[in-house]
A and B are shown apart, each in its own frame.
Chain A
Amino acid sequence: MAQAALAPRDAAPAVFQTVRTPDLHPRPTKVKADTVKVFYGQKQALHGVTIDIPEKAVTAFIGPSGCGKSTFLRCLNRMNDTIDGCRVEGEILLDNRDIYDPSLDVVELRARVGMVFQKPNPFPKSIFENVAYGPRIHGLARSKAELEEIVVASLQKASLFNEVKDRLHEPGTGLSGGQQQRLCIARTIAVSPDVILMDEPCSALDPIATAKVEELIDELRKNFTIVIVTHSMQQAARVSQRTAFFHLGTLVEEGPTDHVFTNPSERRTQDYITGRFG
């Protein structure tokens, strides 16, 4: 009954307005998206999303399943390019540069906008090789010693080093799920990206591993701009500074996390975070 008030699924809302609440102390914008529309073949998955993602902060995307969170996240490093029939319209600026500009090299973009996936996906290689892979293909290390330095530093930043320092040359797939996910984070930060995208990074982890990753995210935001998709309201509330609520391919509301969770301006946001639909 609670859903009756909502628009039927997949019906594109003709006009909608995102409710925005600015930060008290606004941060500089890192990524600026303007009316981003995404089509999978004939089907439109995003109906014009406009959002500013602040620098060195964690922005959480929440919303019911299928609302387009992953789709939007994957626009930010052009991962959607790899999907046949996927078309992106609108404009996305990273440091004021259009990432869909033909002159921009997607390889460089993905080095600057790293991604951590829902299921930990370490390469079936050694722990060392997993982390060294990115720096190696981008030529970030001039010597073997430098490469080792990068690997160790990345593992340390991903709070994994102490657990694996004795077995750097054992396969990364032999680690536990939580360790694998932190290995993937280490692999991502090894290329020193500006932005890290995380698509439900903890959904395959147990609570203890989740807590570790959340701690890590909190640590990482000092140096990186982080965008995280999550289905856990608690997680969004714990780790993020700003929260964006998506629904049916539209961005319904975005604002400071405290504000969105305690005093949402939109009825649908309220319904979702209190668990009345989703």
Chain B
Amino acid sequence: MSETALTGPVDWTSENAVGRRRSRHAANRRLQFYGIAAISTAIGLLGLLITTLVIGGYPAFLQTKITLDFPIKAEYVDAADPAAGNYRNVVRDALLQIAPEATTPPQQRMLGQLLTNNTQFFVRDAVVANPSVIGGTLTLTVPAADPIDQLNKGLIDRTLPENQRRVNDVQLGFYDRLVEAGQVSAPFNWALFFNSDSRFPELAGLAGAITGSFYALLICFLISFPVGIAAAIYLEEFAPRNRWTYLIEVNINNLAAVPSIVFGLLGLAVFIQLFGIPRSAPLAGGMVLALMTLPTMIIVTRNALKAVPPSIREGALGVGASKHQVIMHHVLPLSLPGILTGTIIGLAQALGETAPLLLVGMNAFITSPPGGFLEASTALPTQIFIWADSPERGFTSRTSAGILVLLGFLIVMNGIAIFLRQRLERRW
């Protein structure tokens, strides 16, 4: 206001002014540097994580297999009832072809340990499927046992003293003979995706876990999507702004921050003990995940609704639309991309959630995919947890592989979310 506040012409070139500008520029650069350093650290750590996982996990994507000729002698397998044959002897005979000198039971046992424990069942199933081979020879490729798998992948050091490695010298000899005969191969391990859990790492796969996760996520989506949207619409569009709605709002925000294991405890107490939903069922897991996802769903939906410009609502109200019509015809369709993106990200979060599933028992040992929502099952993260806990070497790489598969799903889901956001987002 007054003239005295002005000090006359400013000398922008004075030492003082130049110094001040220089320190301001330096501050800018510092801030930028901190940012870049932080991001580089984060990316570096992520890269390290992925590299470790890939190095640890890639062996699990290949499976050592051994191709053998199985003589299906009529004395062991009766053509009238092929399922009941003595396949243990069939396998033994097949193995004896590569090591005819193995006549003592200990030698034969070592020979048998080359192949997966379930070889006799593979042979049986093949014979049952094609009984015409009875009396002839069946050529079959079966998974090698875990130690041979490790050996073939170079994970067992042959130079170690015999008592320090899991493959003894006799077995090494057998193995070398098989390699020489070209009977050892290492194709892509489809079993990782099509088998369920097993006690034997060479047979264990993620099919059960993937199915279980799918069912649980479906339940989670079916509950949290409609409930979340309805709650968000009410809170955003209808609820009066008073102490009660404020309280509800604060609680929803707090709920989003509650440790997931608490939801697991709630699920155990309410869904399983009170409602009597079977333990380990994807239904129970999905309901717990829904509880956990619900606050996130409500928050993202509310934000998406808020992002619809008021001018659109006013325009609709101005031509006489009712509140219901404004929401259904304008606000909801316009916020759908945001809601969908949030939903996918919420589901991705739920997919990776482990603790609550452990509490409802989705970490059981289950060897076949669940046939429905009420059958016991595992889920991807709990399967990883189980494998991480298993002592066999083969499970170590499968743990990493399982994590890679989980990350793959998460990346795909987030990719879909980004795609949807880019495709459907509207600019005002």
Task: Report chain A residues within 8 Å CB of B240.
Answer: 84
Of B241, B313, B319, B426, the residue contacting A133 (CB under 8 A) is B319
Partner of A107, one of B315, B320, B329, B426: B320
In Å, the complex CA distance between A263 and B202 comes to 99
Q: A156 at the A/B interface (Cβ < 8 Å)?
A: no
Instruction: Give bound CA distance, A122 to B319, whole Å.
Output: 12
B379 CB-CB contact with A under 8 Å: no
Check A77–B318 contact: CB distance below 8 A.
yes
Instruction: Choose one: A111, A119, A124; the contact of B319 (CB below 8 Å).
Output: A111
**Looking at the complex, which one of B309, B318, B329, B330 makes contact with A110 (CB distance below 8 Å)?**
B318
Interface of B is mostly: helix
A261: interface (CB < 8 Å)? no
Closest approach, in angstroms, between the C-beta of A72 and any C-beta of chain B? Answer: 16
Q: Write out the residue numbers on chain A whose beta carbons fall within 8 Å of the beta carbon of B13.
A: none
What is the minimal beta-carbon distance from A8 to any residue of chain B, in angstroms? 18
Q: Mark out the residues of chain B between 307 and 334 whose CB falls within 8 Å of any chain A CB in the assembled complex.
A: 309, 311-322, 325, 329-330, 334
Across the interface, do A82 and B317 meet the contact criterion of CB distance under 8 Å? yes
Contact of A46 with B by CB under 8 A: no
For chain A, give the interface size range.
20 to 34
- Would A134 and B334 be within 8 Å (CB), given that A117-B314, A124-B426, A184-B315 are in contact? no
How many interface contacts (CB-CB < 8 Å) are there between A and B?
64
Which of B241, B314, B426 is A79 in contact with, Cβ under 8 Å? Answer: B314
Nearest A residue to B320, CB-CB: A111
- Nearest CB to that of A112 among chain B residues? B320
Instruction: Judge whether A108 is part of the interface by a CB distance below 8 angstroms.
Output: yes
Residue of A nearest to B318 (CB): A115
Complex: how many Å from CA A200 to CA B299?
A: 36
Closest to A191 in B: B319
Q: Give the residues in chain A near B334, CB-CB below 8 Å.
A: 124
CB pair A187 B314 closer than 8 Å: no
Counting contact residues on chain B (CB < 8 A from A), the size range is 20 to 34
Given A122, A190, A191, which contacts B315 in the complex, CB threshold below 8 Å?
Answer: A122
Indicate if the CB atoms of A123 and B318 lie closer than 8 Å. no
Once the chains bind, are B320 and A117 in contact (CB under 8 Å)? no
A119 touches B312 (CB 8 A): no
Task: Give Cα A116 to B317, complex, Å.
Answer: 11
CB within 8 Å of B: which of A96-135? 107-111, 114-117, 119, 121-124, 133-134
Complex Cα distance, B319 from A134, in Å, reads 6
Q: Give bound CA distance, A2 to B315, whole Å.
A: 40
Which residues from B are CB-within-8-Å of A122?
A: 315
Complex alpha-carbon distance, A278 and B322, angstroms? 37
**Complex contact A79–B315 (CB within 8 A):** no
- Judging by beta carbons under 8 Å apart, are B315 and A110 in contact? no
User: Which residues of chain B come closer than 8 Å to A137, judged between CB atoms?
Assistant: 319-322, 325, 329
Interface contact B319-A114, CB-CB below 8 Å = yes
Residues facing B in A67-101 (CB within 8 A) are: 77, 79, 82, 84
CB A170 to nearest CB in B, in angstroms, measures: 15
Contact B315 A117 (CB under 8 A): yes
Would A110 and B311 be within 8 Å (CB), given that A123-B330, A124-B426 are in contact?
no
Does chain B have a CB within 8 A of A188? yes
A138 within 8 A of B: yes
CB closest chain-B residue, reference A188 = B319
The answer to whether A187 touches B241, judged by C-beta atoms less than 8 angstroms apart, is no
Task: Name the residue in A121, A122, A184, A190 with the highest tally of chain B Cβ atoms < 10 Å from its Cβ.
Answer: A121
A187 to B240, CA, bound (A): 30
Give the residue name and chain of the B residue nearest to A120 (CB): B311
| A172-197 contacts to B (CB < 8 Å) | 184, 187-188, 190-191
CB distance from B352 to the nearest CB of A (A): 35
Whether A191 lies near B311 (C-beta < 8 A) is no
Identity of the chain B residue whose Cβ is nearest the Cβ of A116 in the assembled complex: B318
Q: How far is the CB of B384 from chain A (nearest CB, A)?
A: 44
For B330, give the chain A residue with the smallest CB separation. A123
The answer to whether A114 touches B318, judged by C-beta atoms less than 8 angstroms apart, is: yes
Q: How far, in whole Å, are A134 and B316 apart by their CA atoms in the complex?
A: 8
Per-residue B-contact encoding for A132-161, CB less than 8 Å = 1, 0 else: 011001100000000000000000000000
Q: Report, nearest first, the 5 A-B pairs whose CB atoms are least far apart.
A: A111-B320, A121-B311, A134-B319, A115-B318, A110-B320
Interchain Cβ contacts under 8 Å between A and B, 23 examples: A79-B317, A108-B320, A110-B319, A111-B319, A114-B318, A114-B319, A117-B311, A121-B311, A121-B314, A123-B316, A123-B330, A124-B334, A124-B426, A133-B316, A133-B319, A134-B320, A137-B322, A137-B329, A184-B315, A187-B315, A188-B319, A190-B319, A191-B320
B residues near A (Cβ < 8 Å) are 240-241, 309, 311-322, 325, 329-330, 334, 426
**Other A-B pairs, 20, CB within 8 Å; known A117-B318, A119-B311, A122-B315:** A79-B314, A79-B317, A82-B317, A84-B241, A107-B321, A107-B322, A108-B320, A109-B320, A110-B317, A110-B319, A121-B312, A123-B312, A124-B426, A133-B316, A137-B319, A137-B322, A138-B320, A187-B315, A187-B319, A188-B318
Chain A residues proximal to chain B, CB less than 8 Å: 77, 79, 82, 84, 107-111, 114-117, 119, 121-124, 133-134, 137-138, 184, 187-188, 190-191
